[in-house]
Structure 1
Amino acid sequence: MTITVGTYNVRGMKDDVAALARVIRAMSPDVLCVQEAPRLLCWRRRRMELAESAGMRVAAGGRLGGVAILLAPGVRLLHSESHVLKIFLGLEIRAVAIAVVEVEGARFAVASIHLDLDEAARLHHATEAVAMIEQVAARFDAAIVLAGDINEQDDKTTWRYIAARLSDCYPRAPRGNGLTFRAARPDRRIDAIFATQGLQVAWCGGADADPADLVAATDHLPVVARLVRA
């Protein structure tokens, strides 16, 4: 069976929310990992409204850390949890949102992360998040998908750490140039989807959305992967 997973930094929904919803619909994900989800006033309602506008529902994610997971209709939610990662004085609070889902009998443990700009904190949080998703996946006999804003490129330490444990989906079956930041003139790939080695990657790359919507929606471009589990 196949599952479509997306990841998208929505910058607190500070830009064109209607364009944002159209982009998510164009992505057509079964599961969407969100970063910079609203986390201040009326954060629950705003996340729910975004999900509903894109034909999805909120499955996981607390206020702190601003990460969330949305699900499409027909995707069964088996379990969800959210964790604040180690707090570093003077840096933003980071978190991981985890959802275990079932699609056509196949189980996936999906994690949404947004790592720090500080290199040491970024690596520490990555090790925490990978350990957490591995533990959850083992409990549910699920394939792992970890996605988010890594805040560094693929030649750096944290990216290499994650990619040594989970497969970076884009190089395996690239679609488009893979660049995700900044949306108007992207020149780097800092958003990614990683998955269990056993999952086949049909393709991974950008969304087939209106270019004007992609620029208006937020400052990141989304990443979408089509994954196949035997």
Structure 2
Amino acid sequence: MGTGRDPAPDPGGGLPLRLVSWNVHELADDRAALARVLLAAAADLVCLQEAPTRLLTASRLPALAAACGLRVCAAGRAGAGTAVLVSPRPDVLAAGVRALPVPLWRGRRPVRRRGAAEVLLRVPGPGGWSPPVGVRSVHLGLDAGERLDHCRRLQDLDTAGASVLAGAGERVVVAGDLNEGPEGSAQRFLRERLRDPLGAASAPATFPARHPRRRIDAVLVGAGLGVRDAGEVAAPAADLVVATDHRPVRADLLVPPA
């Protein structure tokens, strides 16, 4: 995967876990450039949105994962294009995808399906495996009310112990294309229990990729995890503008040791 991943424990006691989130636009753009960016990112976890699920294009996702030294751990049509790819380093304890309810039509326009992909994992350290960490990839909708409703539904599942993330306590991450900035109602709801390492800043913008103006993609982190750094993925600008229509976001997390 490259030299960017640091498997050594942090001097402060946390085990490093690098996560990247990216809307990949059905893998319909420059897939070679996209793979180069992921290789440069050297992430332990990659949360995707708009991964292809149609019969004729679904094979693009495992091909991308293989090219980047990753494995597909959560994906499928029920997740509506959300997916989680994992490097060989973490140990995946559970994984799955779930659909979120949407109407077939809004006005005269069809509504895109929505869902989430979830994994429960642990990372190795000198004292053994870490406590479980829950990671959710989401792609929220274009309607503000729908976005808030989906965030509430997912939190209710966590609280009821009915989701993969339920076994992680406060060691959770929600990452994805939220289709709204930090000022949005869904983001404000999520930040009642999660924090955005970048705060309410509008930069670095993530959409559209060629001339980013809005920060609608985010990695939100629970109180049980530390954050060493967060922001953009260091990759050639020429690849970032052709790989897909969003820019990726990165978070270097610190997981409590065993």
Same fold, judged at TM 0.5 (above): yes
> Is 2:185 the counterpart of 1:171?
no
- Structure 1: gaps spanning 5 or more residues: none
Question: 2:232 is matched by which residue type in structure 1?
Answer: G
Match of 2:143 among 118, 129, 139: 118
More helix, by proportion: 1
Q: Distance in 2 between matches of 1:75 and 1:161?
A: 29
State the identity %: 37
Stretch deviating more after TM superposition (59-68 or 137-146) = 137-146
Contact 1:98 1:133 in 2 (8 A): no
**Deviation for aligned residue 1:62:** 1.5
SS at match of 1:170: coil
Match of 2:133 among 100, 108, 111: 108
Q: Distance in 2 between matches of 1:43 and 1:68?
A: 15
**Deviation for aligned residue 1:133:** 4.6
**Deviation for aligned residue 1:27:** 1.2
Partner residue in 1 for 2:100:
85
- Structure 2: gaps spanning 5 or more residues: 1-14, 106-110
TM-score (norm 2): 0.83
Q: Distance in 1 between matches of 2:99 and 2:166?
A: 21
Q: Distance in 1 between matches of 2:58 and 2:92?
A: 18
Q: Distance in 1 between matches of 2:21 and 2:52?
A: 16
SS at match of 2:251: strand
Q: Distance in 2 between matches of 1:138 and 1:114?
A: 20
Task: Please give the residue correspondences for 1:1-230 in structure 2 after superposition, counting only pairs within 5 Å.
Answer: 1-64=15-78, 65-90=80-105, 91-104=111-124, 105-106=129-130, 107-133=132-158, 135=161, 136-140=164-168, 143-171=171-199, 177-230=203-256
Instruction: Give me the CA root mean square deviation.
Output: 1.8
TM-score (norm 1): 0.93
Q: Distance in 1 between matches of 2:41 and 2:157?
A: 27
**Deviation for aligned residue 1:103:** 0.7
SS at match of 1:171: coil
Q: Distance in 1 between matches of 2:190 and 2:165?
A: 16
SS at match of 1:208: coil
Contact 1:111 1:145 in 2 (8 A): yes
Stretch deviating more after TM superposition (112-121 or 123-132) = 123-132
SS at match of 2:230: strand
Q: Distance in 2 between matches of 1:139 and 1:221?
A: 31
Q: Distance in 2 between matches of 1:138 and 1:14?
A: 34
Change (3 A) 1:99 1:156: same
Question: 1:68 is matched by which residue type in structure 2?
Answer: A
SS at match of 1:78: strand
**Deviation for aligned residue 1:215:** 0.3
